[in-house]
Structures are given as structure tokens and as C-alpha cells.
Amino acid sequence: MSNRPPDTQDRQDRTRSTRQIDDAFEDASKLAGSSLAPAEFYDKFLARTLLGINAPAGAVWLRTPQGFLQIAAQHNLDKMGLDEKRGGRQCHNEVLRQVFQAAPPRPVMLEPQGRLGGGGPVEPGSVPAANLTDYYALFAPIVGPEKQSLGLLEVFQESSFDPRMYQTFLQYALQMAGYASQYHSFANTRQSAGSEKVFVQLEAFARLIHSTLNPTECAYHVANEGRKLVEADRLCVAVRHGSKAKVEAVSGADVVEKASTHVRRMRDLFNAVLKFNDKLVFRGTKDESLPPDVLHALDAYLAESQPKLLVVAPVRDEREKDADKPARSALMMEVFNPPDQTDPLIERLEVVGKHAAPALYNAAELKRIPFKPLWWPVVKLQDGLGGKAKLYTLLAVLGVLLLAAAMVFVPYPLKMTAKGQFLPEKVVNVYPPMDGGDVREVFVNQGQTGIRPGAPVVKLFSPEMASKLSELDVQVDVNTRNAALLNLHLRDRSTKADEVIRITSSLVDAESKAVGAKGQMDSLVAQNNLLTGPQERGYFVAKAPALDSKYGAAWANITGVDVRETIMRRAVRASEPLVRLGAIDGPWRIDLKIPQRGIGHVNQAFATAGRHQTEADPRGTGKTVKYLPVDVLFGGFETQKFAGKMYEHDVAIEAVPNRDDHNETEPVVQAYVQVDLSGLSPDEQRAFKKAGAEVRANVVCGDRALGYSLFHGVWEWFYEKVIFPF
């Protein structure tokens, strides 16, 4: 039993309590300025807070990112009897909620079995904010730099103290909560400083990896500098060129030995993970759910290297739109002695990958550009000139000069365009033998072949010829009968001598008239192909002409239309063609009509050496003849070009109106072109040999300047309209 007076004992207790509280403040201040992790800080901070006032229990509550309170540290909280009374825990949580949400934040003290006052109306069905324990509950807010609530310091104190002491305890709790607030301020400052340092490092890293477009150099920057940011033991970079990945860089290695077993196993693992298209994380144990090829590649690589932490992460740039296609590049991180918490390493690797993806993608895309060495001089020239505008101006000027030089000095064939028809070389028109005949029958059909020479083609009728033949027939009949009567008189012996002379003279005259009329009839029949049947008087025919054997043995009807619709029952003139016949079994040629504006170039080509070609005369004269090459295009066969020849002797010397084309007023010069179809089979030749088929041709008139060959029409118009008038 102490011998000291009670007042002395109280003073000593207060002095000891004050010293104990001051020591707690000093220790809390040191803790607030330390760099301890939050969990370790709050554990030590709470223990020191409770020791300062000998409190039996307490807790630190912090706000989560979602806005809820979560316990950060606690001591003997389960011994406070929160669960002994019904609703005790819920009432306690309601106190925490209202104290935390109070504005502005303020300390709160609740007596044992006391309720929180000034809380306003309580929502129906909710529990009251009350302290249902046998201890005083002290609540002090932990605030941030902007006075926002970060959490609460909760202290439970025995109820055996002098009631005046609890306000001191509340102020003590508020002061200690202030040190916790200082810790948060210092932590934010340290975090800001660390973040700024990280930002500076990331900025330097980004500038470095984007400073080159060489895939190998970029990959080495990513590997060496990225390893420092990630704080890993080794960082490797692979870039996919085509369908396979290539190990471009290994941190700490100057050269990647492609033939080494280690690099080959690493390349196989990269290819498998890129095909898997997902991140591979190995923490010492394999995930059996991985694809077989990834597991096989991982086993093969682990036989060469034994990291405790291995991460292979495909890095995909935003421009890689096809998500099913493997990423363009990938990173491999290896750590041989990893810390307990490996998630920060993986997160830093993801950050490095996001910065490296566009740089590696740009480098890989540039490598894909063909003829890249040819573009570098252009880039150097652009830099030397001072910008794109000057480079484009120089290129435009050079382009114009080169184009002008090409137009003047580059030779190019001058071609004259013309149209024509493909026809047999031997073509004739069948005309009526005389005027005035009405067409009564056509013996040949459209496209008929095998028409023999001399065969009737068209049957006509002439009323005038029928009347004339009747008159001649009457004359023959009358004179014949007269001659017969006169012969009877001469045979009569009673005829006198002077009558014999007269009758003889009349007989000779009658016979001569009969013979003359008969001869005239025969002449008309022969000249006009008249039919001699008793029912065919006045009828005559137009016959197929004779045919030289070199053109075949028969004609073909090549008339473009059915003449029955145009000449039947109509009087025709002797100059009007009835049917067009052609020797289709003989040689064929193109009947070309050259516009008058182009015939000058054709004649000049024949007259100028070097612009035409020569060969032996195909007609067999033994002479050398000139010809111009012709490019031929048949109507209906526009995708196949044939070669032809236009000989000088096959060009007419007279320009005639183009009667076949009513829209073309310019005269044309007719010429013949021999086309070579020897490269076709007989069946294919028959497909081309359609009489009258349209043909487009380009007559090659020798080489001229490129500009004149392409724009001779413009120059001729300019000369005619502008220069010539002056």
C-alpha cells in the first residue's frame, strides 16, 4: 500500500499519462514521415495509438475506391461485444457510416449504450446509429489534403475513468488521426514524385524506341531500356515478318545467335504464343489447360532456361484490326528470383508493351515496303531541298522536261485508223441483161454456196420483149407461108415466064425476111438470156458469171440481205445489181476505206525509206513491192489482233465519197489489205470468213516522234486553223 497522499498520486498519474501521450505523438509523427507500406504503417500506428492511452481495442477504417469503408488494421475488435447483443454489429456500422459521411468531418464520442445524436430522421427499416457495447467509442476522421474524408480512427476505452478524461481521450484520438492524415499527404507526395519519375522514364523510353525505324535497332531499345523499367532479369523481343516470328533482340546481348538452341527454342515459344493469341504466364507451375503446341514449346524452352517467372505477351497495335490474326510483335520477360508479389512486374510489362507496340509495328511495316533502298535517296534529296513543296516542284519540272524530251526524241509508230469489210478477193455483182424487166423469181437463197458459173440466179419478165418476140414470130410465120405459096406458083407449069421472074423475086424477098426475123429472134435470145419455152415468152434470166479456177469452182451468195424483199415484182434497170456473188473458196482480203486526212501519211510512208517494208511481189511478177504493216481487229473478235499487209499497188489513186457511212462526209481512199490467218485452224478460219464483216485497222506508217504520233491530229488542226491563214 502506497504511503503517498492521494493528490500526489493523481498528479503522478497525470504526469505519467501526459508523458505517455507525448511519446505516442512523437512516435506517430515519425511513423507519418516514414515510407512504410500502408498495411505495416496502420498496424504499427494503431498499436502505438492504443498504447498511448491504454485503450483495450481499436481499428482503422479506410475508404475503398468504390466509396465503402474497409478495415485497414484492428486490435481486439472482436472482444468489444459487438456481436453479443442483437443488432450490435449493424448499429456499429451505421455509426461508422454517419460519422464518415458527416460534413465537415468532426470527431465523435459515444457513451456505452449511447446513440448518435443529431443524426436527423432515421429511414424506415434501418437500424439506429448506436454503441451497444460497455465501452466508450471514440471516432476521429482521417482527412486528405483537400479536407475530404479518407477514413476513421476508432478507439474503444474503458468506462472506469473520470468522465472528464474522455474529452482528453477524444482530442488525443483526433490528434493521432491527424498524423495518419499526414502519412497520406506524405504518401501522395512520394507517389507523385515516383509517378513523375516514372513518367520521365517512360517519355525517354518512348522517344528512344520511336527514334529509329530499323526493326532490330527498335527491338534492342525495347529490350534493354524496357528491362530497366520492368525491373526484370531478361527481356526479349520478337517481331513477326510474314507468318513466322523472328527474335530481334535479347536484353544484355549484342547479337542474337539465330542458330543457337536457346534462340530457336525461344522462337518456337514466341510462334506458339502468337498463334495462341493470348498472354502466357509461368510462375513455376504449368497450366495444363494451355494448347498442346504452347505446352510443348514451353517445355522445350524451360529445358534451356529455368526462370521462376516467365511471361510471354503478344503486343498488338491499334492499327491491327484483325483480332484473329497473330499480333505483329511479342515480349518475353524472365525473372529468376521473383518477389512475392509478381503482379506489379506483369503490369509494368503491359505498360512497356503498350509503348513498344506502335514503334515495333512501324518498323515492321517499313521493312515490308519493297525497293526501300530506292526511296532513301529521295528522302535525302527532299531534306536537302528543304521540304516536300520544293521536292514536288522539282519533280514536276523534271517530269515536264522528261515528258517533253520523250515527245520529241522517242520514236513511236504513227498509226492511221480506218474501217473496212472482210470480203473474198473475187466479188461480182449480177446485173439484169437489159432494162425494164420485172423480177419474178430468185433462184439463190441468202448465204447459198455452190452456185456454178452460168447457173440462173434471177428470173425476170419483160412485156416489151414479149411483144417484140411476138411480132418477130408473126413476121417469121407470115414470110414463111408467103414463101411456101410462091413455091407452089413456081411449080405450077401454067405460070407464064414473065410471072416466074416476078414470083422468084417475091420468093427471095419473103425468105430473106423470114430468115432476118428468125435471126433477130435468136440474137435477142442470146443477148438477153431469154427463155425459149412456149409458155416462157418474154422471160429471161440473170446468170452467174464465169469463174477462174484459182478462185474455186463455184460462187456463193454474199448479198447482205434477202433480195426477195427488195426486188421481187419490181422493174429493174440493167445497171442495178441484183445479187452479190463471191468466191469464198479463194483468197480473202480486207476492203479498207482510209479517210482522206490519213492518206497523206500513207503515201509519205510509201515514199520515205525506212517507213515501209519490202518483199517479193506475191502476184508473181518477180519484182519487189512495198507494203505497210496493218494491225487488224475483226468485229466480234475484239480480243484477238491479226497482222496484215497493205501493198502500194492495192491503194487507189482516187478519193471517192464514203457511201457506206451516211454520217461521214469526208471522202475516203479505197485500199486492200491481205490478212494472215494461217495461225488459225480451218474451223476457226471459217468463223472469221464472214463476208461483209466489219473490220477496224491501224495502218502503221513508220516511226515518228512520240508526240507527233500521239497528237498529230491536234497539230494538223492547229496548223490548218491558226498558222496556215497567216
SS3 440: strand
How many angstroms separate the CA atoms of 238 and 353, rounded?
A: 12
Going from the C-alpha of 331 to that of each of 219, 295, 341, 360, 388, the distances in angstroms are 10, 18, 20, 11, 37
> Comparing 122-136, 457-471, 554-568, 664-678, which segment has the lowest mean pLDDT?
122-136
pLDDT at 528: 82
Residue type, 100: F
Mean pLDDT confidence for 443-458: 88
Both 165 and 271 in one domain: the answer is no
Structural domain includes residue 696 = yes
Backbone angles phi, psi at 441, to 5 degrees: -160, 140
Give me the pLDDT at residue 161, please. 86
Q: Is the dihedral of CA 195, 198, 202, 208 positive or negative?
A: positive
521 and 571 inside one domain: yes
pLDDT class for 247, splitting at 50, 70, 90? very high
pLDDT higher than 70, residue 190:
no
What mean pLDDT do residues 202-208 have? 87
219 and 360, same structural domain?
yes
Please compute the mean of the pLDDT values over residues 75-101 and round it to a whole number: 88
Q: Which amino acid is at 672?
A: Y
* Number of CB atoms found within 10 A of residue 523's CB: 10
pLDDT tens profile 658-696: 766 556 567 899 999 998 888 788 888 777 788 778 899
Residue 362 grid coordinates: 512501324
Higher-scoring residue by pLDDT: 557, 562:
557
**Residue 322: exposed, middle, or buried by beta-carbon count in 10 A (0-12, 13-18, 19+)?**
exposed
Query: Do 388 and 439 sit in the same domain of this protein?
Result: no
Task: Taking the CA atoms of 360, 365, 366 and 370 in sequence, report the sign of the dihedral they define.
Answer: positive
The helix (run of H) or strand (run of E) holding residue 227 is helix 215-230
| DSSP 8-state class, residue 546 | P
In angstroms, how far is CA 280 from the centroid of its own chain? 36
| pLDDT confidence tier of residue 124, bands split at 50, 70 and 90 | very low
Q: What is the pLDDT of residue 8?
A: 65
More confident residue, 527 or 493: 527
Count other C-beta atoms under 10 Å from residue 604's C-beta.
15
Strand partners, 108: 139
Examine the domain organization and report whether 180 and 239 are in the same domain: no
Q: Quote the mean pLDDT of the chain.
A: 85
197 belongs to a structural domain: no
Q: Are residues 454 and 567 in the same domain?
A: yes
DSSP for 313-364, please give it: EEE--TT---TTSPPSEEEEEEESS--S--HHHHHHHHHHHHHHHHHHHHHH
Q: Rounded to the nearest 10 degrees, what angle do helices 215-230 and 343-368 cross at?
A: 170
Nearest to 453 by CA among 478, 426, 476, 473: 426
Q: Determine contact, residues 695/561, Cβ cutoff 8 Å.
A: no
Q: Assess whether the previous peptide bond of 463 is cis (omega < 30° from 0).
A: no
At 625, list the grid cell.
513491192
Three-class DSSP category at 183: helix
591 and 519 fall within a common domain: no
Question: What are the residues whose beta carbons fall under 8 Å from the beta carbon of 294, sequence distance 6 or more?
Answer: 269, 272, 273, 276, 280
H-type helices in 369-447, by residue range? 372-385, 388-409
Whether 284 and 148 share a structural domain: no
| % of the chain exceeding 90 in pLDDT | 26
Which run of H or E residues covers position 613? strand 613-616
CA 614 – CA 608 distance, rounded (Å): 12
Cell of 4: 503517498
Q: Spell 468-506 as b/e; 16+ CB within 10 A means b.
A: ebeebeebbeebbebbeebeebeeeeeeeeeeeeebeee
Confirm whether 196 is domain-assigned: no
Please state the rounded mean pLDDT for residues 250-274: 91
654 by DSSP, 3-state: which?
strand
| 591-606 average pLDDT score | 90
Sign of the alpha-carbon torsion through 464, 466, 469, 474:
negative
CA 149 – CA 358 distance, rounded (Å):
41
Backbone angles phi, psi at 449, to 5 degrees: -115, 175
551-556: average pLDDT:
88
CA atoms within 13 A on the CB side of 680: 15
Give 419's strand partners: 593, 696
Question: Positive or negative CA dihedral for 556, 562, 564, 570?
Answer: negative
- Measure the CA–CA gap between 275 and 267, rounded to whole angstroms: 12
Give the bridge partners for 616, in sequence order: 624
Beta strand 149-157 with 136-143 is antiparallel
221's enclosing H/E stretch is: helix 215-230
Confidence of residue 549 (pLDDT cuts 50, 70, 90): confident
Look at residue 268 in the predicted model and tell me its pLDDT. Answer: 94
Lowest mean pLDDT segment, chosen from 169-183, 237-251, 376-390, 592-606: 376-390
User: What is the C-alpha separation between 569 and 83, in angstroms, rounded?
Assistant: 129
Q: Which three cell numbers stand for residue 704?
A: 515518228
Pair (556, 678) in one structural domain = no
* 364 and 378 inside one domain: no
φ, ψ of residue 691 in degrees (nearest 5): -60, 130
pLDDT of residue 271: 93
Banded pLDDT at 249 (limits 50, 70, 90): very high
* Residue 362 covered by a domain: yes
Q: Is residue 571 located within the same domain as residue 605?
A: no
Domain count, the chain: 5
**Distances in Å between the alpha carbon of 711 and those of 111, 114, 408, 705?**
109, 108, 12, 10
Q: Tell me: pLDDT of 292 over 60.
A: yes
Alpha-carbon distances, residue 205 vs 102, 226, 230 (angstroms)? 46, 8, 12
* Amino acid identity at 572: V
Tell me the DSSP string of 591-604. Answer: EEEEEHHHHHHHHH
C-alpha cell at 239: 517481331
Whether 517 has a pLDDT exceeding 60, the answer reads yes
Q: CA angle 455-457-461, nearest 5°? A: 120
CATH number at residue 164: 3.30.450.40
> Could you give phi then psi for residue 579, rounded to 5 degrees?
-135, 145
Length of the chain: 726
Domain boundary among the residues 556, 580, 604 is at 580
pLDDT at residue 293 above 90? yes
Considering the domain boundaries, does residue 415 fall inside one? Answer: no
Is the pLDDT at 192 greater than 80? The verdict is: no
For residue 25, the number of C-alpha atoms closer than 13 Å in the C-beta half-sphere is: 13
Q: Kindly state whether residues 167 and 97 are assigned to the same domain.
A: yes
DSSP secondary structure of 392-412 = HHHHHHHHHHHHHHHHHHSEE
Q: Which of 455, 462, 440, 469 is nearest to 542 (CA)?
A: 455
The pLDDT score that the predictor gives to residue 122 is: 43
What is the mean predicted confidence (pLDDT) over 555-568? Answer: 81
**Domain housing 532:** 427-580
Q: Tell me the per-residue pLDDT of 526-535, one tens digit each, with 9 for 90 and over.
A: 888 888 877 7
DSSP, collapsed to helix, strand or coil, labels residue 101 as helix
- C-alpha cell of residue 467: 411483144
- What residues pair up with 429 in beta bridges, in sequence order? 580
CB 514 within 8 Å of CB 469: no
* Position 500 in a domain: yes
Q: 629-663 pLDDT, tens per residue?
A: 999 998 877 788 889 999 999 999 888 887 665 56
Assess whether pLDDT exceeds 70 at residue 493: no
For residue 606, is pLDDT > 70? Answer: yes
